[in-house]
Structure 1
Amino acid sequence: MIDIFVPLATGWLLDAVVETDSGQRMDQIWRELAVFLLLVVLFICCRNSLTLITNRISAKAMMELAKQSFAKIQRLSSDWHANTFSGSTVRKLTRGMWAFNAATETLAFGIFPAVLVSVGIVAVFAYNWLILGVLVFVGIALFTACSILLAVKWVAPANAAAQEVDSQVSGLISDAISASSIVKSFAAEEREDRHLADLVERWRAGAMKAWDRNAYTSLIQAAILIILQAGLLAGGIWLWSRGMASAGDIVMIVATQALFNGYLRDIGLHVRNLQRALSEMQDLVDLERAIPEITDLPDAQPIVVERGHIKFENVTFRYRGNAAPLYKNFSCEIQPGEKVGLVGASGAGKSTFVKLIQRMYDPESGRILIDGQDISSSTQSSLRSIIGHVPQDAILFHRSLRENIAYGRPDAAHNEIIAAAHQAHAHAFIEKLEAGYDTVVGERGLKLSGGERQRVAIARAILSQRPILILDEATSSLDSISERYIRDAIETIAKGRTTIIIAHRLSTVKSLDRILVFDRGVIVESGSHAELLQLKHGYYRQLLKNQEDSTDQRELAVQ
């Protein structure tokens, strides 16, 4: 609003120079000059104060956006993460944060000031010369309506399409870099280069389309402004010729048209920037609206587990998109402290069994109980905090070995970390590293071999000291000697814990209390290793025979 009075003060100063008597001229000139300078100083002070305020608001809001979006992403389902490029998700999150900053600056320094200046200029002109007030009002209304319509209906779709491809580019790059070892092993660098080149070409075409539409919009806005300026200046000269405006008024009109020309010219840019920022923020809005498939009930309570008794009661479960359920009225019971192996062909339901225990999925019907408590009525965080899990593909953070091992118990003492590493037979290779337990393992632990990563994951499970332990192909990445060491470690850490081991190497489950043999979502056999071998035509016995034959064939091939 201060800016509106600067042209008025300019006109007053000129009238003081031209019209004031010689005896009073200098006092009035100095007075008008002081008013002019005061307005300029006030404008600068207010604008810089606004900058300091918005800096703090934007920084805090961006921080909250990052925290809130990251928390939401962490709590979305396993299916959501499996179907989403992590690189694209990161790109959408960071782009949305900065888009919020751009939207805030555009509103605070562009659109709101432009609206206030437009209203003020119309009021000033209407007060002095109604005809000019009407002319300015019509011109500004036409310019604004045209800018908004072009931005929303014409530019926005092109921007949205370009942003979608931009996210795909980020996802492809992240995917290729994270799988760089596979790319190199298949000498596929040029193929990935071509893949990216094709996608980037699509991005270029989309970006050019969006940018060109922005440029054409600017031309249309400039044409409207030129017509408005010409009409305003012509009207001012016409008023001066009829004695209805002074020389100072003409200067004021010229200065005012320059003022609103700047604001309106920029408002076109601001509208486009705001539209682009809102479009980029839409990804965060969509993320916020995403509903986690697995949620805690309003009255969910922390689960309390002392024994580790697991029971499936008539559980029916199907994966999304599958017509038939994997489990139908499935029931099973694992006693406290029992060591149970899950074996069977791929897709038989072994991994689903442990995912349901961890409540990565909810069954369609039936119940899963731990120590008599329905896990669907418990909080997810408390449920997973009582389960130690070693996955088939051990994933480590790009952090030190100490932090990775202590991830389940961040407050663990260094001697406890070392003890866990000893039990997992990881200490020997760790102490040979230059930085020892402070060695940073690289993204997903790629600086370590598969077997080393698996041992660190087992050490992590050992240190967490959970009453229920799940090992999903925990020895699949280990050589036979290391596998024997790990089996010894499992024997040690399984004491007093309910332990579930998924295994394709049947040698891993021979010493367990009980083996559950899965086939297409049904437990077809159950018993110890010795008991199952007594079944002459048993499924387990056939699996063991097939595996021994495969091992013999490999040994003959080596010889």
Structure 2
Amino acid sequence: MDDDQDDLFPRANVLRSVLTFTFLHWLRRPAIVLLCTLAMLAGTLTEIFVPLLAGRLIDAVGAGDRAGAIHAFAIMSALGLAMVVLRHLGWWAIIPLTLGMMRDVAQEAFARVQRLSTEWHANSFAGSTVRRISRGMWAIDTLNDVLLLSLLPSLTVLAGTVVLLGLDWPLLGLGMALGAFAYVAVTFGLATRVLAPIARLSNQWDTKLGGVLSDAIGANAVVKAFGGEAREDERLSRTVNKWHRRTWRSWMAFTWAGSGQLALLWLIRMGVTGGALWLWQAGRASAGDVAFILTSYLLVHGYLRDVGQHVHMLQRSVNEMEELVQLHDEPPAVVDAPGARALRVTAGTIRFDAVRFRYAGQTSPLYEGLNLSIAGGERVGLVGPSGSGKTSFVKLIQRLYDVEAGQVSIDGQDIAAVTQETLRRQVAIVPQEPVLFHRSLAENIGYGRPGATQAEIEQAARLANAHGFIERLPKGYATLVGERGVKLSGGERQRVAIARAFLADAPILILDEATSSLDSESEAAIQQAMERLMVGRTAIVIAHRLSTVRALDRILVFDHGRIVEDGPHDRLLAITGGHYRRLFERQAGNGEPVLLQ
């Protein structure tokens, strides 16, 4: 079975959830929505009476009633002018409504994505997420136009015309009502039960296509390094071919649906025309009445034909907004507790009390009853093989995840009871692979402290041994670093990250030591800057080379989520058969090397 077979069936409540999302945004601007609605309704009602007046005009001309003909013409002209003014007012009103909604949706979606969990971001393509937001944002433009400028006038014309015809010829009005109802029902049925699932699948592959493109382009340096251009071309080709098949099926389905609806419209036209002729032949309708009936139907026919397009556009915009609404409904994994207060750090003491933690999808916890205390100002190294729990330890300090049981506290304050913003402002991080914005060097360093002066930024760069290479650049601190800092070397990016941490001046410092892959000159400069940065702070260093933790106050040795050894370098090295000693000897060349990540 096709992997995507389940996606061929419509999901329940998608239309309702998207429309609810839209209406809630309308409620933020009730005055402009009401103005647009009333203007479009009034403008449409003027059109309904034009066929009636056209019939009277013809009867007046046939009877030689000059005054009656002029009177009918004058009213038709006035209604036409009113229609133009009212429609213009409706079109004008929808501009601030739609732009305001698009702005709100983009900002709120961005804010939601920024606050989603680290795990969510690790499992999501950045390009796909951007596509979901931008496509959904522009779908609001289509949805508002369809609902307020298209469907509302169309349904008003249908209802008004059926009422006017029914007042004089009930059977004819009933016939037109049944025909219009059948057409609208078929249109909605096709859109929601047939076309929507196919279009949804096409959109999913459009999102995947954006993700594949973003992934390959963002990692172009790796592609070039391994001569992988042809492989990436082939990978994209597989995705594009799948997208092509899904989109072809979607477009062909829309084509067949459109042809079927057009045929149904012609059947309704023939029925109404035949009914008008029968009424005339039976002497129950004058020539003007026939003109009124046929003109009314032509008006209805145009709107009915457009209803099909409007419903298709409605369903397409719903499909395109579906992923945005899902994103809006995605619950953040970590939220501030009600009444959360600001974290106040005095000494910088960190405690883990009986902490139990597991990642989503894991059957057994990584930590079970973890107890640990790090004194304020203490410099602690974390060592152990890959997957032993070092990185998870610092992520819990940052509260990137919540613990299942127990408590992580800073200076006696449960970090689950303080705001995430104030917590993370008190924790400066220098990651192993620094991520920089595609902004200037000054902006990247200044990110550590909003509002920092240029002098403060430059001082932080000096402390990080970054000022020298920055000054040698043609534009100095105004130099753009490229996406994720690609224009800088690894050592330069590391020093910028350290400068950012210096500027943040946080009492707690986390260093993911990354000097092992650098040249000796860069390593020496970064090591010196890191040692300078640790002074007077509670420092936690994830060590990849044991030589970097010798001078630290204390070393924690992790193994399968447990701290198996705890103490300074010399004492741990003296333990015969100890974990730390074994790791140290392997790195010293007495055994197989171990990468401590």
Per-residue deviation, 1:518? 1.4
Work out the CA distance in 2 between the residues paired with 1:437 and 1:16: 83
Per-residue deviation, 1:294? 1.2
Per-residue deviation, 1:314? 1.3
Between 1:73-82 and 1:315-324, the stretch displaced more is 315-324
Aligned mate of 1:231, from 271, 274, 281: 271
Between 1:422-431 and 1:239-248, the stretch displaced more is 239-248
1:399-458 Cα shifts (integer Å, max 9, x gaps): 111100010212111111111111111111111111111111111111111111111111
Aligned mate of 2:317, from 255, 263, 277: 277
Residue 341 of structure 1 aligns with which residue?
381
Per-residue deviation, 1:539? 2.3
Aligned mate of 1:435, from 453, 475, 497: 475
Residue 170 of structure 2 aligns with which residue?
130
Contact 2:146 2:313 (8 Å CA) reproduced: yes
Residue 258 of structure 2 aligns with which residue?
218
- Code of the residue aligned with 2:46 in structure 1: it is I
* Corresponding position: 1:163 with 2:230: no
Residue 14 of structure 1 aligns with which residue?
58
Seen in structure 2, the aligned counterparts of structure 1 residues 535 and 39 have a Cα distance that, compared at 3 Å, is same
Per-residue deviation, 1:30? 3.0
Between 1:521-530 and 1:346-355, the stretch displaced more is 521-530
- Code of the residue aligned with 1:5 in structure 2: it is F
Residue 73 of structure 1 aligns with which residue?
113
- Code of the residue aligned with 1:500 in structure 2: it is I
* Corresponding position: 1:90 with 2:90: no
Per-residue deviation, 1:477? 4.3
Per-residue deviation, 1:485? 2.1
- Code of the residue aligned with 2:63 in structure 1: it is E
Contact 2:345 2:410 (8 Å CA) reproduced: yes
Work out the CA distance in 1 between the residues paired with 2:182 and 2:156: 17
Residue 585 of structure 2 aligns with which residue?
545
Aligned mate of 1:290, from 313, 320, 330: 330
Work out the CA distance in 2 between the residues paired with 1:449 and 1:212: 51
Per-residue deviation, 1:493? 2.1
Taking only aligned residues, the RMSD between alpha carbons, in angstroms, comes to: 1.7
Which aligned pairs between 1:49-448 and structure 2 lie closer than 5 A? Answer: 49-448=89-488
- Code of the residue aligned with 2:361 in structure 1: it is G
Aligned mate of 1:2, from 46, 51, 58: 46
Which aligned pairs between 1:441-460 and structure 2 lie closer than 5 A? Answer: 441-460=481-500
Residue 549 of structure 2 aligns with which residue?
509
Per-residue deviation, 1:392? 1.1
Contact 2:398 2:427 (8 Å CA) reproduced: yes
- Code of the residue aligned with 1:10 in structure 2: it is A
Which 5+ residue runs of structure 1 have no aligned equivalent?
A: 554-559
Runs of 4+ in 1 over 6 A off after TM superposition: 550-553
1:35-67 Cα shifts (integer Å, max 9, x gaps): 111111111111111111111101001111111
1:443-484 Cα shifts (integer Å, max 9, x gaps): 111111111111111111111000100011243443222222
Per-residue deviation, 1:75? 1.0
Structure 1 residue matching 2:180: 3-state secondary structure: helix
Work out the CA distance in 1 between the residues paired with 2:523 and 2:554: 20
- Code of the residue aligned with 1:153 in structure 2: it is R
Per-residue deviation, 1:550? 8.6
Contact 2:378 2:539 (8 Å CA) reproduced: yes
Contact 1:85 1:171 (8 Å CA) reproduced: yes
Per-residue deviation, 1:537? 3.0
Work out the CA distance in 2 between the residues paired with 1:491 and 1:210: 61
- Code of the residue aligned with 2:57 in structure 1: it is L
Work out the CA distance in 2 between the residues paired with 1:544 and 1:308: 30
- Code of the residue aligned with 1:363 in structure 2: it is V
Contact 2:436 2:444 (8 Å CA) reproduced: yes
Residue 40 of structure 1 aligns with which residue?
80
Seen in structure 2, the aligned counterparts of structure 1 residues 477 and 16 have a Cα distance that, compared at 3 Å, is farther
Per-residue deviation, 1:76? 0.9
Seen in structure 2, the aligned counterparts of structure 1 residues 168 and 552 have a Cα distance that, compared at 3 Å, is closer
Between 1:375-384 and 1:471-480, the stretch displaced more is 471-480
Per-residue deviation, 1:217? 1.3
- Code of the residue aligned with 1:38 in structure 2: it is A
- Code of the residue aligned with 1:192 in structure 2: it is E
1:57-88 Cα shifts (integer Å, max 9, x gaps): 01001111111111111111111111111111
Contact 1:401 1:441 (8 Å CA) reproduced: yes
Aligned mate of 2:513, from 473, 480, 495: 473
Work out the CA distance in 2 between the residues paired with 1:240 and 1:41: 32
Work out the CA distance in 2 between the residues paired with 1:470 and 1:478: 20
Aligned residues with identical type, % of pairs: 46
Work out the CA distance in 2 between the residues paired with 1:93 and 1:493: 39
- Code of the residue aligned with 1:55 in structure 2: it is I
Per-residue deviation, 1:507? 2.0
Structure 2 residue matching 1:316: 3-state secondary structure: strand
Which 5+ residue runs of structure 2 have no aligned equivalent?
A: 1-44
Per-residue deviation, 1:349? 1.0
Work out the CA distance in 1 between the residues paired with 2:268 and 2:355: 73
1:1-24 Cα shifts (integer Å, max 9, x gaps): 111112222222222322134xxx
Work out the CA distance in 2 between the residues paired with 1:551 and 1:498: 34
- Code of the residue aligned with 2:161 in structure 1: it is I
Work out the CA distance in 1 between the residues paired with 2:212 and 2:445: 31
Contact 1:403 1:410 (8 Å CA) reproduced: no
Work out the CA distance in 2 between the residues paired with 1:293 and 1:219: 48
Aligned mate of 1:461, from 493, 501, 525: 501
Contact 1:392 1:476 (8 Å CA) reproduced: no
1:484-514 Cα shifts (integer Å, max 9, x gaps): 2222222222222101111112222121111
Aligned mate of 1:533, from 567, 573, 583: 573
Contact 2:585 2:591 (8 Å CA) reproduced: no
Work out the CA distance in 2 between the residues paired with 1:323 and 1:250: 77
Work out the CA distance in 2 between the residues paired with 1:551 and 1:493: 34
Work out the CA distance in 2 between the residues paired with 1:221 and 1:550: 80
Between 1:279-288 and 1:77-86, the stretch displaced more is 279-288
Work out the CA distance in 1 between the residues paired with 2:276 and 2:517: 85
Structure 2 residue matching 1:431: 3-state secondary structure: helix
1:79-108 Cα shifts (integer Å, max 9, x gaps): 111111111111111111111211110011
- Code of the residue aligned with 2:153 in structure 1: it is P
- Code of the residue aligned with 2:48 in structure 1: it is I
Work out the CA distance in 1 between the residues paired with 2:311 and 2:362: 47
TM-score (norm. length: structure 1): 0.95
Aligned mate of 2:524, from 478, 484, 506: 484
1:272-322 Cα shifts (integer Å, max 9, x gaps): 111111122111221122121211111221111111000111111122222
- Code of the residue aligned with 1:13 in structure 2: it is L
Work out the CA distance in 1 between the residues paired with 2:92 and 2:341: 45
Residue 556 of structure 1 aligns with which residue?
none
Work out the CA distance in 2 between the residues paired with 1:190 and 1:13: 73
